[in-house]
């Protein structure tokens, strides 16, 4: 069990920060490269435990993958043909690996079993099983309450029209991946727009899908299969979800001036910027020219005094991963911050609503737990203490940032989970405060 130490610093935060490659994009780049024809080179790949789980599963499915240097993977695609694996496919802690590969494996003519660690084995999987079953695959969830292990009997699929009960980039991506192997057009209706990396990345691999808004402003995604993807060279931009921790710290410390270079600026992921600006943060963005479908650029933050805000409704889907650190921003702001319509937080690696409420209260913050979020009275003095991570990387990192503003020493227990998304967070924390 690893423990992370964070302590109050009154120094301003300054400098240029390079954040690790985007986690969501790294997963998808590896998967699409595996079903493309030819050899793809993926640079800037996030070598965290979650993304490496995807690499390992693809290798067990017969994909040859080379690793010439850190952050670079050369993937020899087989045009959508995989080998039947011997044994189970271990997704470890990665919900993205399990859900996206469920879509991919639904179209394969063999049976596979997807397993994960204790945390992943408690996360809901029926949301991806339902559309895959409607397309003709056979799914069996052998865990309690429709959870992993998942046994998938793949085969010939047919297109469907499917309305997502709730916006989910992982479920949407699973359907898109399965649709690439069908004959005909699959239509997906998402109630609110969520991250669209899979749709964008298809174009890099010479695939296609169409996206439009209907009269009710719902996003309609259509994919016509079968499609043959082609290999490419792909550069993964920096992860704005990783940058979010340092963005909040810099924004809340008056006099700070921090730049983040080569960060992904996908409009379905920049909700963190919109919320912080609404809280009064001084943020400027310089887009970089790029030939890729994923936009990127430099984000510059100058520290100021934050004000409370309300985070709710349609924007929740685009800040779902950043809500723990935005809760910390609320604690550091003046006034009241309310996070609502965020029930999805309760079925992440842990119940992130209860976890953040418990930890922030332990530090002295005034926080009220709601069924779908939390209400925070900002401005309270924080005190360092020993906090559990709940085995959740985003809880651990958010609380470490809170510790930079707390009197005394903050100790976060069981922080090995951070490696699932940000392997060198601890080193960055040390350099950020030096």
- According to DSSP, residue 226 is labeled -
Burial 5-24 (b: 16+ CB within 10 A, else e): ebebeeeebeeebebbbbbb
> d(Cα 277, Cα 269) in Å, to the nearest integer?
15
Cα 33 from chain centre: 19
> d(Cα 22, Cα 264) in Å, to the nearest integer?
8
> d(Cα 62, Cα 85) in Å, to the nearest integer?
8
Nearest of 53, 135, 40 to residue 101 by alpha carbon: 53
> d(Cα 294, Cα 237) in Å, to the nearest integer?
8
Question: For residue 377, how many other CB atoms are within 10 A of its CB?
Answer: 17
- According to DSSP, residue 230 is labeled B
- Per the CB < 8 A criterion, the answer to whether 4 and 412 are in contact is yes
> d(Cα 146, Cα 415) in Å, to the nearest integer?
28
Active-site residue flag, 321: yes
Query: How many CA within 13 A on the CB side of residue 208?
Result: 5
Q: Exactly one of 50, 117, 239, 321 is catalytic; which is it?
A: 321
Nearest of 275, 238, 241 to residue 260 by alpha carbon: 238
Nearest of 171, 153, 156 to residue 99 by alpha carbon: 171
Cis peptide before 149 (omega within 30 of 0): yes
- Catalytic positions are 321
């Amino acid at each position: 069990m690893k423990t992370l130490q964070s302590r109050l610093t009154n120094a301003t935060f300054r400098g240029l920060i390079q954040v690790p490659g985007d986690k969501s994009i790294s997963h998808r780049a590896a998967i699409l490269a595996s079903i493309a024809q030819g050899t793809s080179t993926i640079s800037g790949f996030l070598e965290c435990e979650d993304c490496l789980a995807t690499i390992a599963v693809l290798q067990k499915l017969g994909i040859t993958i080379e690793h010439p240097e850190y952050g670079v993977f050369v993937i020899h695609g087989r045009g959508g043909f995989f080998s039947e694996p011997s044994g189970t496919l271990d997704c470890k802690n990665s919900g993205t690996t399990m859900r996206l590969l469920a879509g991919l494996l639904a179209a394969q003519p063999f049976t596979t079993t997807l397993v994960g660690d204790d945390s992943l084995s408690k996360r809901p999987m029926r949301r991806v099983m339902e559309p895959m079953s409607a397309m003709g695959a056979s799914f069996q969830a052998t865990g309690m309450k429709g959870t992993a292990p998942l046994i998938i009997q793949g085969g010939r699929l047919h297109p469907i029209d499917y309305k997502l009960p709730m916006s989910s980039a992982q479920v949407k991506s699973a359907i898109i991946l399965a649709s690439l192997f069908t004959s005909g057009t699959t239509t997906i209706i998402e109630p609110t727009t969520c991250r669209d990396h899979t749709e964008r990345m298809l174009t890099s691999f010479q695939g296609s899908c169409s996206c439009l808004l209907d009269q009710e402003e719902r996003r309609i995604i259509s994919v016509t299969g079968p499609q043959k993807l082609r290999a490419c060279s792909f550069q993964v931009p920096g992860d704005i979800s990783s940058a979010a921790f340092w963005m909040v710290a810099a924004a809340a410390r008056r006099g700070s001036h921090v730049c983040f270079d080569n960060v992904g600026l996908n409009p379905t992921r920049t909700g963190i910027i919109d919320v912080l600006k609404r809280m009064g943060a001084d943020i400027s963005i310089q887009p970089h020219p790029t030939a890729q479908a994923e936009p990127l650029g430099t984000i510059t933050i100058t520290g100021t005094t934050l004000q409370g805000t309300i985070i709710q409704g349609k924007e929740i889907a685009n800040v779902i991963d950043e809500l723990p650190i935005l809760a910390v921003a609320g604690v550091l702001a003046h006034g009241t911050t309310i996070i609502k319509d965020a029930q999805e937080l309760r079925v992440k690696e842990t119940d992130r609503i209860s976890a953040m409420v418990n930890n922030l209260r332990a530090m002295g913050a005034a926080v009220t737990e709601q069924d779908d979020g939390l209400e925070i009275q900002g401005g309270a003095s924080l005190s360092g203490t020993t906090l559990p991570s709940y085995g959740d990387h985003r809880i651990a990192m958010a609380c470490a940032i809170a510790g930079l503003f707390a009197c005394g020493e903050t100790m976060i227990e069981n922080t090995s989970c951070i490696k699932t998304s940000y392997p060198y967070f601890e080193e960055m924390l040390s350099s950020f405060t030096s």
